[in-house]
Amino acid sequence: MKAPDFAYARPTTLDEALALLAEHGEDARLLAGGQSLVTSLNMRLAAPSLLIDLNRIPDLAGIAESDGLVRIGAMARHREVGESPLVRERLPLLAAAMPHIAHPAIRNRGTIGGSVALGDPATEWPACCLALDATMVVRAQGGERRVPAAEFFQGLYTTAVGPDEILVAIEMPIPSSGALWGFDELARRSGDYALAGLAASARSEGGRLADVRLAFFGVADRPVLASAAAAALQAGDIKAAQAMLGDEIDPPDDIAVKGATRLHLARVLLGRVAGRMMEAAGGA
Ligand code: FAD
């Protein structure tokens, strides 16, 4: 199938894009890397009358550090994020997650903003945002607001971005010294969406884990912070953390896999990631 007819606009400023969005409302769609949107147009799952292309807007580009934060422009490509020297040094969790996203062609074109704004619960960046306690910067014509990752992902393909808003950037606090991270996922084949995944951050304190954040993906309608399991890890008990996970996530059955299998996979990932982080904490 081919996409239905639509008009196309390529603004060069954020103000211009916001004005078009305000004028056309839900009839318009923002085009970032197009890796998800163009597929849904071609399958006629979406039929906007106008596409607003964000690719020529300099304010949405770039990755920079200031005031203890790394600010990642919404239009930064997956590969650009993962290969950025700044990200590798300051936010190695993102560098570790990036190669798990789809395939090279999609990573070259797809954007972090497109992924986060789409809110697919099986994807890597939203879970990383949650693990790193990121803040999403969202702008409408009336002004800008900042939404913590924990409030941003609201359900299946549902986020806090309103129909008149553009996700402009993601701000990640730079972890302090002694910071630890962990990432792993299980997929049927390399490049497939994860059956279950885990992005984690923590701090080493006296040889133990502190401030643990465990963000699971692929197990619910949005990424999930498992706080009871995190507390058990802080007490040094991986088995208790794995047991508690059953109270915190309850993956539904679907055509790909049973919910009980996803929970099992999440526990396996927790054991792997926690084991590596505890070892690192002991050696730190
Ligand atoms: P687009 O497709 O252009 O847009 C996606 C949606 O977000 C649209 O509704 C659009 O209007 C909206 N949007 C885009 N930018 C903004 C913004 N700045 N503000 C507000 N709304 C915005 N992703 C993974 O993470 N992991 C995977 O394993 C994975 N596997 C894939 C496999 C295949 C075969 C394909 C086709 C895609 C896969 N993806 C995967 C998705 C891919 O990463 C996309 O890049 C991503 O979902 C969307 O990013 P995009 O820049 O292409 O956005």
Domain ranges of the chain: 7-53, 62-173, 181-283
Q: What is the pTM assigned to this prediction? A: 0.97
| Whether residue 1 has pLDDT greater than 80 | no
Q: Provide the CATH number for the domain formed by 62-173 in this structure.
A: 3.30.465.10
The closest residue, in CA terms, to atom 36 on ligand 1 is 35
Average pLDDT over residues 171-194: 94
C-beta of 223 in contact with ligand 1 (< 6 A): no
Residue 125 alpha carbon, nearest atom of ligand 1? 25
Q: pLDDT tens digits for 87-102?
A: 999 999 999 999 999 9
Residue 69, number of CB atoms within 10 A of its CB: 17
Average pLDDT over residues 266-282: 96
**Could you tell me the distance, in angstroms and rounded to a whole number, from the CA of residue 69 to the centre of ligand 1?**
24
**Could you tell me the distance, in angstroms and rounded to a whole number, from the CA of residue 38 to the centre of ligand 1?**
9
| Whether residue 162 has pLDDT greater than 90 | yes
pLDDT of the residue at 225: 98
**Could you tell me the distance, in angstroms and rounded to a whole number, from the CA of residue 78 to the centre of ligand 1?**
10
pLDDT of the residue at 138: 98
d(CA 114, CA 205) in angstroms, rounded, equals 36
| Whether residue 31 has pLDDT greater than 80 | yes
| Mean model confidence pLDDT for the chain | 96
Residue 30, number of CB atoms within 10 A of its CB: 21
C-beta of 198 in contact with ligand 1 (< 6 A): no
Q: pLDDT tens digits for 55-77?
A: 999 999 999 999 999 999 999 99
- Determine whether 239 is exposed, middle or buried from the number of CB atoms within 10 Å of its CB (0-12, 13-18, 19+): exposed
Sign of CA dihedral 270, 190, 170, 17: negative
Give the pLDDT band (50/70/90) at residue 212. Answer: very high
d(CA 35, CA 57) in angstroms, rounded, equals 18
pLDDT of the residue at 283: 65
**Could you tell me the distance, in angstroms and rounded to a whole number, from the CA of residue 100 to the centre of ligand 1?**
14
The closest residue, in CA terms, to atom 11 on ligand 1 is 30
C-beta of 218 in contact with ligand 1 (< 6 A): no
**Could you tell me the distance, in angstroms and rounded to a whole number, from the CA of residue 118 to the centre of ligand 1?**
6
| Domain 181-283 CATH superfamily | CO dehydrogenase flavoprotein, C-terminal domain (3.30.390.50)
pLDDT of the residue at 90: 97
pLDDT of the residue at 284: 57
62-173 and 181-283 share one fold: no
Residue 175, number of CB atoms within 10 A of its CB: 19
**Could you tell me the distance, in angstroms and rounded to a whole number, from the CA of residue 51 to the centre of ligand 1?**
15
pLDDT of the residue at 41: 95
Q: Provide the CATH number for the domain formed by 7-53 in this structure.
A: 3.30.43.10
Residue 111 alpha carbon, nearest atom of ligand 1? 51
